[in-house]
């Protein structure tokens, strides 16, 4: 569990950045393979990916800044440090919103494309959490149980203390979610179903894992962490949207 993996002259290869890069490449390859089977244009896949990465990066950073509002005065370097400090939910929301804007501009079926993208999002998240493990961020609470990990040279996580491996838990969870979505996507489903399932399962799993997180830097809303609060909003909003779409479909059939 060491973030500085390799030094090549003045260049340092960091574990966090490497895992993010691997996750993006793997997710894109899966996306392109599935898109070709559905005879969707590759140029749109590439463009949406670039838009989503940019929008996701900016939103993830913006949400992190919001959660760090109280610390900005004492640590203004937070504002210009672009290498660390991101909130996953900000990336998800920003990426989806960017994809929506692109699809509307190009006259594409947004829900159809979102269904295609979300398994890749889960895959990228799985690799991303391995990066978190290497960097020592997003660590868990102290534990005395057998299922714990100890950092010895981390700049972020407490060293010499056994911690719940929340990074591993979420990585395994994300990989499992990816495989579930891939299997279900092989069957004919209404547009938006796979995306809705991703949002429901991920928000529920993230809400639970947050109980075992030990890093207080992520902010809070009342008794909930920021991510737990967003998880509730996402879960409720997704349920409402699915109910409305089901009602509209039923009404259309009976018309």
User: Each residue of 11-27: pLDDT tens digit?
Assistant: 878 888 899 999 999 99
C-beta atoms surrounding 131 within 10 Å: 23
pLDDT in tens, 99-154: 999 999 999 999 999 999 999 999 999 999 999 999 888 899 999 988 899 999 88
Mean pLDDT of 59-74: 73
Reported as type and span, the H/E element at residue 220 is strand 220-221
Identify the pLDDT of residue 148. 92
Top-confidence residue, 15 or 201: 201
Q: Are 121 and 88 in contact (CB under 8 A)?
A: no
The reported pTM is 0.88
By the 8 A CB rule, do 134 and 13 touch?
no
Expressed as residue numbers, the domain containing 36 is: 4-254
Total domains present in the chain: 1
């Amino acid at each position: 569990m060491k973030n500085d993996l390799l030094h090549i002259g003045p260049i340092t290869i960091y574990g966090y950045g490497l895992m993010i890069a691997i996750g993006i490449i793997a997710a894109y390859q899966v996306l392109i393979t599935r898109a070709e089977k559905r005879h969707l244009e590759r140029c749109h896949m590439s463009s949406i990916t670039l838009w989503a990465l940019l929008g996701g990066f900016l939103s993830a950073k913006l949400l992190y800044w919001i959660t760090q509002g109280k610390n900005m005065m004492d640590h203004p370097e937070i504002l210009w440090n672009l290498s660390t400090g991101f909130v996953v939910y900000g990336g998800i929301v920003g990426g989806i919103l960017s994809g929506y804007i692109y699809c509307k501009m190009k006259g594409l079926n947004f829900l159809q494309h979102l269904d295609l993208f979300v398994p890749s999002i889960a895959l990228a998240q799985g690799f991303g959490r391995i990066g978190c493990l290497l960097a020592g961020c997003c660590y868990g609470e102290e534990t005395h149980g057998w299922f714990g990990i100890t950092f010895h040279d981390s700049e972020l996580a407490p060293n010499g203390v056994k911690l719940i491996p929340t990074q591993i838990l979420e990585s395994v969870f994300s990989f499992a979610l990816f495989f579930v979505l891939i299997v279900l996507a092989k069957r004919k489903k209404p547009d938006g179903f796979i995306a809705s399932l991703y949002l429901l399962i991920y928000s529920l799993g993230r809400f639970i894992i947050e109980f075992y997180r030990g890093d207080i830097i992520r902010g809070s809303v009342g008794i909930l962490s920021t991510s737990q609060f967003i998880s509730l909003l996402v879960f409720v909003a997704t349920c409402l949207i699915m109910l409305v779409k089901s009602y509209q479909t039923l009404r259309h059939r009976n018309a």
